[in-house]
Structure 1
C-alpha cells in the first residue's frame, strides 16, 4: 500500500495554489492547512470518519495499528522505497529544494506521532463537512431549521386533517448527564470550535442572569428531595473542567440542542435556555409539552419566579415515565404522562436513549481538549439523529401497534367493569378519576403542614371531649349514663380512626420508598456476575448494596407489622361501615407480597384510609375502570399524534424536494451573477471566492448533494409499504375524503410494481397456495413470475382502496396514471396468495375479512 508519487508545487511567493489545495486536487487531505507534513487519501478519511460516526473509537490504537502495518512495509526507511503498487493512503512530504516536488512514503514530517497527524486530517475533514452543511443551509434558507432535524415533529401541518388536531403541537424531553466529562489537565485548545448542536455562549449566561435576578420560590413537598431542585446541584469534582451535558430531544429521540456544563452541576436555567431557544424557532402560539425528570420542580421554579410569562402560558409539564415513579403519588397524578391528558404514550425518556448511544464517547472525551470533545459529541449525535430519522417508518409502526394493543385491552377491561356494574359508565369513571386527582393533588410543604396541624387540632379536640365525658361518667350515677356511654363509644371510634389515618399516611409512604430501594439494590446484585462474561460491581459497591438490602428488609418488616395492626384496629373501629368497604381494605400477608408489588400498584396510592367513603379508593372494580379509561384516552391521543406526524413527514418531504429543485433551477438560470434572493457579500464569504463562475459551480454541487441525500432518505422511508399503510390506517372516518399525498403518489407506482419493495412476507404453503400463470413480457414472450415477488393480501387490499380513493380524486395531477398502474397491478396478481408477518395489526378486522374473500374468488 506504500508507493512514491511525484508532485509539483507552486514556487512563487505567494503561491498561486496553496499546498493543501494542490494536495486536494490530487485526492489527498493535508494534515494541516499551512506547510503540511502529511497527507491522507480523501477516501480513506471518509471511510474512517463514517466508521467512527457509527462506532466511535480512540485514535491512539488505530494509529498504532497503522504504524505497525507500514513498518512491516518499509514505512520507517528514510530512503526511497518503491513498495507495492496499491492505492496509497498516507504520505510524508519531503522538500526537494525549494519547490517541494517529491512525496515519499511515510507520515509525520512535523510530528513523529501518527496519531496527531491522523487527528489533524480528520479535524480538517470534519471542518469541510461542517462548512458544506452550513453553506447548504444558507443556499436553502434553512439554517438551524427544526424540521430538517425531525420532519415528523416540526414538518408542515398542511396535510393534517381535523381528526389529527393535537392538544400539544410539539414535545421536548430534557435531561442531564454527568458521565460525559473532561479532565482538568485537558486544557490545551487552540481551535475554539463550538458546533451548532450546542447553545451559543450568550444564550446560557443571559438565562442565568434572568433567573438569578428573581426571588427564590417556596418549596413544594416533592421538590425538596431533588438535587437539581430550584437552584440546582452545585457540587462538582475539582478534577473535571467539563462536568456534563444537558440535552433537549424531540419525541422521536432526535437531539435538538445541548448545553455543555463547565465547573457546575445541573441548574434549571440550562433546561430553560434550551426550551427558550427551541420555542423561538416555533410559531408564537405553539403549545409545547416539556418532559423532565423533575418537571414538578421545573414548573414551580418558572411559575414562582415569573420567568418568561408569555412562554410559560403555552407550556405543559410532565415527568418522564421512568423517573415519575420516584415521585410521590400526589405529584404523579399531576405530572405522570400516563395519568394526565395531552401526552399520549410519549415516555419522555429520549435523553436516556441518547446518553446510551453516546456512552462509547465517555473514555474518549475525558482526556480530549474542549473542541475535540464537543465535535466528537456533535458528530456522533448527528449520526444517531440520522439513524433515527431513517427509521421513522418502523418507529411509527411499532408505536401504532402498541397503542392499538393497549386500546384493545383497555376496552375489554372497561366492558368487564360495566358488565359487573352498569352504573359505572365510561364518563362516570372519568368523573371519578378527576375526583381522585383533586383529592390526592400535589401540595406545597406549607399546605401539607397546615393540613397536619388542623388534623392534629381536630384529634386533640376529640380527645379533650372524650376526657371530659370520661370524668363525668366517673362522677355520675348509673341511670344518668345511658346517653353518655353511646357518645363515649362514638368519640373513641373517631379518635381511633383519625389516629390510624395518621399512621397509614406515614407508614405506607415509608414502605413504598423502602421497597423501591430494596428492589434497586437487589437488581444491582443480581445483574452482577463473577468471573468471565459478566459485569463487575466491585467489593465496595457490593457491600453497600448488601447493607442497603439488610436495612431495607428490616425497616419494611417493621412497617408491615405496624400497618397490619392499623388495619385490624380500623376494622374494629369501623364496625358500622359497609361490609364491602372493610372487605376491600388492603392488608399485607407477608413481606414478599409487598416486594412483588409494582411501583404503580394501587396499594401505594394512599387513598383508602383518608377517603373511605369514595368508591375510587375502596371499590376494586372502579379502580380497574379508571385505569381502563385512562389507557383509552392516552391511546386516542397517540393515534391522533401518529397520524399527524406521518402527514407532517410526507409534507416535509414534498416541500424539501420542491425547495431544492427550485433553488437548482434558480442557480442554473443565473448565468451572470448570484440570484437576487441572496446577499452578494454573504455569497462571496460563504464560498470564499469573488469569481461568479466558481461560486455557481460550487452552489450547484452542494445543492446536488442535498438532493441525493434527500433521495436516500426517500429510499429509506419507502423501501416497503410501511408509510402507505400508516397513512391509510390513520385516515379519518370512512365518510370523509382525504386526497393521497403527492409524495405517496410519486412513489406508490414504483412501490406497487416493484415486488422487492413490498412489506416483508413469507410464501404460503399448503392448500391455500396456488400456482401463478406465466405473464407476457414487453417482447411478446412469456416470462415466469420473479421468485422475489412477495405481494401480501394486505398490499392488494391497500392498492384496491387507493384505487377507490383515486376514483373520487381524479382531478389531482398524476391520479389517472396511478389509477391505471394500480389496476394493472391488481390484474397481474390475480391468483396469488401470500401470508404476511408484518402488517396484520394494521388492517381492520372487517377489511381483512374482505381480503380473505377476495383471495378465495
Structure 2
C-alpha cells in the first residue's frame, strides 16, 4: 500500500461526509519520514549515547547479523591462529549484486531534499561517494565471459531521464543481512567504480583478520584488478587487502552461465569453509524491496534513501527473529546429509585406495596455494583442430623441401578443411530452415538466401579443387541423378570418407587424403565434446532446482 492510499483511508475514516477536508498529505509524508528516522535512532540506542544523535557514526544504525563472525562479540580470543580444520568457523561470506529496478527519476536534488540519516545505516555516505564518482570515467574492463544480464547492463543506455539507474548492494551471503554502508546508487549500468566503493565501504566495518569469501556474478571480471583499484580510492575508503584472506567466487546458480574456465576457477564448491552455501542470498532481498520500487522511483534523493534504509532495517530484523528456526533447520539437514555423504565417501575411498594419497596431496596443495594445478579441472587430451591443421601443413612443407611437387596452390589439408567448412555451413543452413519454419519474416528469408548464395559460391571453388584431388568423386557426382528441387544444403560434398574404399586410393583419390580427413574429424569431435560437456553443466543446475 502506498502512502497516498493509506492517507486517503485515514481521510475517509476521519470525515466521510463528502466535504473536502484540509489537505494534510504533505505534512503526513514529512511526519512519516521523521517517524522512521527517529525509530532508527531509537532502535540503535542513540538517545542513551553521550554524544547523542549528532554523534552517530557511519553505518551505526544498521542492524548487524548476530551469527556472522565479529571479534570481541562472538569469537574467542586468538581465533586468527585456529587450527586449519577449525578456520571454517571464522569465515565471512559477502555477496554483491546490482538491482536495476530501484531507479530514481531526475526529480529534486540533494540540496532540496537531503536525507535525514543517509550514510548512518545501509546507504553509503553520499558526499564522498558523489565526489569519487566525478573522478571516474567509463571503464573498459568488462568482457563477454558471462551471458548474464549484468554484462548486458555494463554500459547501458537506459539511463536517460534517471538520476539513478539502480543500486549495488552487499549482504552476508549465508544469512542475507544487508551490510552497514553496503548500498550505493548506480548512475550508468553496473560499473566497477560503484561496486569498488560499496565493497570498500563494507570492509571498513569488518575486522581485517577475518577470512572472507566474496561472491559476485561477474567476479571473474571485477576481481581481476580489484586490489589495485581499492588502493586508488580516496583516503576515506582506501585500504590494502591481504589477498590470502580473500576468495573470490561466483554464486552457484550464476556460475552455470560462465565459461568452463570460470566454472573451475571461481567455483564455490572448491573453497574450504564454504559448506553448502549457495551464494545466491544476495538475490532474495531484491524480491522484498521490489514492492517499493514504484514509490521510490519518483522520490527525491533524501526521501528515497530514508525509505530504503527503513525497509532494509525491517528486513534485517525479520532475519534476526527468524535465525533460530533457520539455523535449526539447517542443522537437521546437515546431520542427515552427513550420514549419506560420509557413507559415500568411505565407499569411494576404499574403491580408489591406491590413488587417495596422490589425490589428497593435490587437493591440499591447491587449497593452500591457488596457483597450483586444480585437481578438479577436467583435462582435454589431444590436439585441437587448429593445431592439427598446423601440424599437417608443417608436414606438407617438409615434403616439398624433400622434393615432392604440389599439384595445386591449395594444399591437401586446405582442400579437406574447405570441405569440412562447407559441411558445417550446410548444417547451419538446415538449422536456419528449421528455425524459420512457420511464419518467417521477409528479412529472415532474405538472410537464408544469402547463406545459400554464399555456400554455392564456395562450393564451386571446392568442386574445382575436387577435380584435382578426388577425380573419382567428380565421376560419381556426374553419374548421379540430381533431384529437380535439390537445395544447396542437400548437395552431397563427396569428401574422401563418403567414397567406397576402392575409390579412396590412387588414381581416384590422392593418397593420404582420407587420413587427413579422419585426423581433422577427430579434432572436431574433441572440440564438440568439450562444448557438449559445457552445455550439460549449464543445464544441470536448472534441472536440479526444478527437480
State TM-score, norm by structure 1.
Answer: 0.41
Change (3 A) 1:67 1:330: same
1:251-310 CA-to-partner distances (Å, cap 9, x unmatched) read 310001343426432221222222222222233333322111111111113246573672
Q: 1:403 to 1:598 in 2, by over 3 A?
A: farther
Q: Do the aligned partners of residues 401 and 327 (structure 1) sit closer, same or farther apart at CA in structure 2, a change above 3 Å counting?
A: farther
Task: For residue 331 of structure 1, give the secondary structure of its aligned residue in structure 2.
Answer: helix
Question: Residue 393 and residue 378 in structure 1: after superposition, are their counterparts in 2 closer, same or farther (change >3 A)?
Answer: same
Please name the residue that 1:204 is paired with.
129
Q: CA deviation at 1:157?
A: 0.3
Match of residue 207, structure 2, among 283, 293, 308: 283
Alignment RMSD: 5.3
Distance 2:221 2:48 in 1: 40
Q: Which residue of 2 aligns with 1:273?
A: 197
Take 2:134 and 2:96, find their aligned partners in 1: how far apart are those partners?
A: 21
Cα distance change of structure 1 residues 261 and 309 upon mapping to structure 2, 3 Å threshold? closer
2:145 to 191, 204, 222: 222
Do the aligned partners of 1:216 and 1:305 also contact (CA within 8 Å) in 2? no
- Indicate the residue corresponding to 1:193 in structure 2: 116
3-state SS of the aligned residue for 1:368?
coil
Candidates 272, 295, 301, aligned match of 2:225 = 301
Tell me, which stretches of 5 or more residues in structure 2 are unaligned? 232-237, 364-372, 406-411, 449-494, 499-513, 542-547
Aligned residue number for residue 810 of structure 1: none
Q: Partner residue of 2:368?
A: none
Is the contact made by 1:333 and 1:340 (CA closer than 8 Å) also made in structure 2?
A: no
Q: Does 1:184 align with 2:123?
A: no
Matching residue within 258, 275, 278 for 1:327: 258
1:599 and 2:538 correspond: yes
Distance in 2 (alpha carbons) for counterparts of 1:401 and 1:584: 44
After TM superposition, which residue ranges in structure 1, 4 or more long, deviate above 6 angstroms?
A: 215-221, 223-226, 470-475, 583-588, 593-596
Summarize the alignment of residues 420-569 of structure 1 with structure 2, pairs less than 5 Å apart: 421-425=352-356, 428=359, 431=362, 434-437=374-377, 456=386, 459-466=389-396, 468-469=398-399
The Cα of 1:175 is off from its aligned counterpart by: 0.7
Unaligned runs of 5+ in 1: 1-56, 78-106, 441-450, 476-491, 519-542, 552-564, 578-582, 603-857
Q: What is the CA distance between 1:68 and its match in structure 2? A: 2.8
Q: 1:226 to 1:473 in 2, by over 3 A?
A: farther
Say whether 1:253 aligns with 2:192: no
Native 8 Å contact 2:102 2:167 kept in 1: yes
Give the Cα–Cα distance (whole angstroms) in 2 for the partners of residues 208 and 185 of structure 1.
Answer: 20
Output the CA distance in 2 between the equivalents of 1:421 and 1:173.
37
Name the counterpart of 2:2: 58
Distance 1:290 1:137 in 2: 35
**Paired residues of 1:178 and 1:244 also in contact (CA < 8 A):** yes
**Deviation for aligned residue 1:429:** 6.8
| Local SS of the residue matching 2:302 | helix
Instruction: Provide the residue aligned with 1:368 in structure 2.
Output: 299
**1:104-136: CA deviation from partner (whole Å, max 9, x where unpaired):** xxx63xxx2x43343233223223323434553
Distance between the aligned counterparts of 1:219 and 1:199, measured in 2?
24
Between the aligned partners of 1:311 and 1:137, the Cα distance in structure 2 is 36
8 A Cα contact 1:204 1:269, kept in partner: no
> Cα distance, 1:395 vs. partner?
2.0
Q: Provide the residue aligned with 1:384 in structure 2.
A: 315
Give the conservation status (yes or no) of the 8 Å contact 2:107–2:299: no
Per-residue Cα deviation, 1:357-396 (whole angstroms, up to 9, x for no partner): 1111012222223232222211111111001011112222
Shift of 1:353: 0.5
Partners of 2:338 and 2:140 lie apart in 1 by 41
| Structure 1 equivalent of residue 281 of structure 2 | 350
8 A contact 2:91–2:212 mirrored in 1: yes
Return the alpha-carbon distance in structure 1 between the equivalents of residues 171 and 14 of structure 2: 44
**CA 1:601/1:363 → structure 2, altered by over 3 Å: closer, same or farther?**
closer
Aligned 1:611-690 pairs, distance under 5 A: none
Asked if the contact 2:62/2:313 (under 8 Å) is kept, the reply is: no
Q: Spell out, residue by residue over 1:374-421, the C-alpha distance to the aligned partner (whole angstroms, 9 max, x if none).
A: 222111111110010111122222333444444444444444545655
**376-385 vs 130-139, which moves further:** 130-139
Q: Residues 306 and 381 (structure 1 numbering): CA distance in 2 closer, same or farther, change over 3 Å? A: closer
Q: Distance in 2 between matches of 1:224 and 1:596?
A: 13
Say yes or no: does 1:264 pair with 2:188: yes
SS across alignment from 1:125: helix
Deviation sequence 1:334-364 (CA, Å, 0-9, x none): 1121234343322222221011011110122
Q: Provide TM-score, normalisation by structure 2.
A: 0.61
Aligned pair count? 419
